[in-house]
């Protein structure tokens, strides 16, 4: 079972000699232990599963380690179906988004990690390279239509590949002496998949309305509620203050995003050379500069993580505390401090419980 992470303050940068930043926790919301996604492109499942673990602890008090791979097993056939229906004119890869975990929870349910690991006997680390290649080859072969028409039973091939690599998803199982289905286990945890909203902030669509965000991993055509940048930031801070965590989709390709150093900063022009040596002056991020980054594709959909807290640095600047899925081998046990400048510039979207933001965003 996952263990609630008591306090990130025990991983303070003060423990690292000579590091330029120290942090004081302001808000810490219950979370489970940091995991590693291994050699897979399934950060979306790890981040949103971690998010649901915090939701379960908040809603029902049940502390559980959810199976990320059960959600992967439910979701990959849907991606294959979209790729086939669009005759290959669509991305088919390991990537998805946080709302795909909600879709899986709604359609099938959730499963404990102890019941479904997605690992074959003897394996300790997830590596989906062979599986992803086999799936891509399979959907392309299916589309080649050797018989001249699409085989009506083509999904059997996809299921066989998934079953061979990560296993058959359970229909029912025992957990702590009780029998469940994935659906009844979801309900036992108190999770209602319809209670969550995607929020973003871009000016190529009107504010106050939802739109289908144009990023390759949005294969399921998920809708995102569009708000001004300041409102998006306030919504996340307000959610944390109310005891809610947030799933975070962002660009992590910037030099200022460093897992090793446990931070993400957006240096102002000429400040790059100071990174990880001394305090950095950060860029001023506006709605316009944020949009420019999305339009010129210097801000792209790279990685999903889990926002679980708020902290302050030695100069009084605020940071979101995120739980990554790259293991625990950094200054903060797998966590990172994300500056507000970085968050404002490089956030693609967030997913949060409706209750946490309904007042600030007037969302329905």
Is the Cβ–Cβ distance between 38 and 326 less than 8 Å?
A: no
- By C-alpha distance, which of 196, 216, 200, 225 is closest to 103? 196
pTM for the full model?
Answer: 0.94
What's the pLDDT score for residue 362?
57
What's the pLDDT score for residue 19?
76
Summarize pLDDT for 152-183 with one digit per residue, the tens. Answer: 999 999 999 999 999 999 999 999 999 999 99
Summarize pLDDT for 63-85 with one digit per residue, the tens. Answer: 999 999 999 999 999 999 999 99
Spatial distance between the Cα atoms of 341 and 355, rounded to a whole number of angstroms: 26
Q: Is 255 exposed, middle or buried (0-12, 13-18, 19+ CB in 10 A)?
A: exposed
Residue 339 placed within a domain: yes
Each residue of 131-156: b (16+ CB within 10 Å) or e? bbebbeebbeebeeeeeeeeeeebee
20 — pLDDT class (breaks 50, 70, 90): confident
Look over the chain and give the mean of its residue pLDDT values, rounded to a whole number: 93
Residue 152 placed within a domain: yes
User: Which residue spans within the chain are E strands per DSSP?
Assistant: 23-28, 173-175, 178-180, 196-200, 210-212, 223-226, 246-250, 257-258, 263-264, 303-313, 318-323, 335-339, 347-353
Residue 225 placed within a domain: yes
Percent of the chain with pLDDT over 90: 91
DSSP 325: S
Q: Which CATH number belongs to the domain containing residue 257 in this structure?
A: 3.90.70.10
Measured N-to-C along each axis, helices 43-59 and 182-189 cross at an angle, to the nearest 10 degrees, of: 50
CB hemisphere CA count around 362 (13 angstroms): 6
Structural domain count, the chain: 1
What's the pLDDT score for residue 268?
97
Query: Which residue range forms the structural domain that includes residue 226?
Result: 8-361
**H helix intervals, 249-304:** 287-295
Chain centroid to Cα 202, Å, comes to: 20
Query: Is the pLDDT at 335 greater than 80, yes or no?
Result: yes
11 — pLDDT class (breaks 50, 70, 90): very low
Q: Which residues, 6+ apart, have CB-to-CB distance to 312 below 8 Å?
A: 23, 24, 26, 318, 319
Residue by residue, DSSP assigns 174-235 as EETTEEE-HHHHHHHHT--GGGEEEEE--TTS-TTSEEE---TT-TT--EEEE--HHHHHHH
Average pLDDT of the segment spanning 252-268: 97
Residue 166 placed within a domain: yes
What's the pLDDT score for residue 9?
43
CB hemisphere CA count around 211 (13 angstroms): 16
Summarize pLDDT for 41-71 with one digit per residue, the tens. Answer: 999 999 999 999 999 999 999 999 999 999 9
Summarize pLDDT for 276-334 with one digit per residue, the tens. Answer: 999 999 999 999 999 999 999 999 999 999 999 999 999 999 999 999 999 999 999 99
Average pLDDT of the segment spanning 117-143: 96
Residue 34 placed within a domain: yes
Determine which of 1-5, 114-118, 329-333, 357-361 has the lowest per-residue pLDDT on average: 1-5
**Tokens, residue 151:** 């085989």
Spatial distance between the Cα atoms of 46 and 141, rounded to a whole number of angstroms: 30
Residue 199 placed within a domain: yes
25 — pLDDT class (breaks 50, 70, 90): very high
Residue 3 placed within a domain: no
Query: Is the pLDDT at 127 greater than 50, yes or no?
Result: yes
Q: Which residues, 6+ apart, have CB-to-CB distance to 11 below 8 Å?
A: 262, 331, 332, 333, 335
Is the Cβ–Cβ distance between 234 and 350 less than 8 Å?
A: no
Q: Is 119 exposed, middle or buried (0-12, 13-18, 19+ CB in 10 A)?
A: middle
């Amino acid at each position: 079972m996952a263990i609630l992470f008591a306090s990130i303050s025990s991983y303070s940068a003060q423990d690292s000699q000579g590091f330029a930043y120290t942090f004081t926790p302001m808000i810490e919301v219950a979370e489970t232990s940091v995991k590693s996604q291994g050699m897979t492109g399934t950060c979306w499942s790890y981040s949103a599963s971690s998010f649901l673990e915090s939701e379960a602890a908040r809603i029902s008090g049940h502390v559980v380690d959810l199976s990320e791979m059960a959600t992967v097993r439910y979701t990959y056939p849907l991606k294959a179906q979209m790729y086939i229906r669009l005759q290959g004119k669509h991305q088919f890869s390991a990537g998805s988004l946080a709302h795909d975990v909600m879709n899986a929870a709604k359609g099938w349910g959730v499963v404990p990690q102890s019941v479904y690991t997605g690992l074959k006997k003897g394996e300790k680390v997830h590596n989906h390279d062979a599986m992803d290649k086999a799936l891509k080859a399979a959907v392309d072969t299916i589309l080649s239509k050797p018989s001249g028409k699409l085989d009506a039973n083509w999904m059997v091939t996809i299921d066989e590949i998934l079953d061979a690599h990560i296993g058959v998803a359970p229909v029912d199982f025992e957990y702590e002496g009780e029998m469940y289905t994935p659906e009844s286990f979801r309900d036992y945890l108190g999770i209602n998949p319809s209670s969550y909203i995607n929020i973003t902030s871009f000016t190529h669509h009107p504010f106050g309305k939802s739109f289908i965000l144009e990023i390759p991993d949005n294969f399921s055509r998920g809708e995102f509620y569009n708000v001004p940048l300041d409102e998006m930031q306030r919504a996340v801070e307000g959610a944390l203050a109310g005891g809610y965590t947030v799933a975070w989709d962002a660009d992590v390709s910037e030099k200022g995003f460093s897992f090793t150093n446990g931070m993400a900063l957006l240096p102002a022009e000429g400040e790059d050379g100071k990174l990880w040596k001394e305090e950095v002056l950060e860029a001023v991020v506006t709605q316009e500069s944020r949009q420019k980054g999305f339009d010129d594709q210097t801000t792209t959909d790279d990685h999903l993580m889990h926002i679980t807290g708020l902290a302050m640095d030695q100069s009084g600047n605020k940071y979101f505390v995120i739980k990554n899925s790259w293991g625990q081998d950094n200054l903060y046990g797998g966590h990172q401090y994300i500056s507000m400048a970085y968050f404002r510039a490089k956030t693609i979207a967030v997913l949060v419980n409706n209750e946490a933001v309904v007042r600030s965003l007037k969302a329905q």
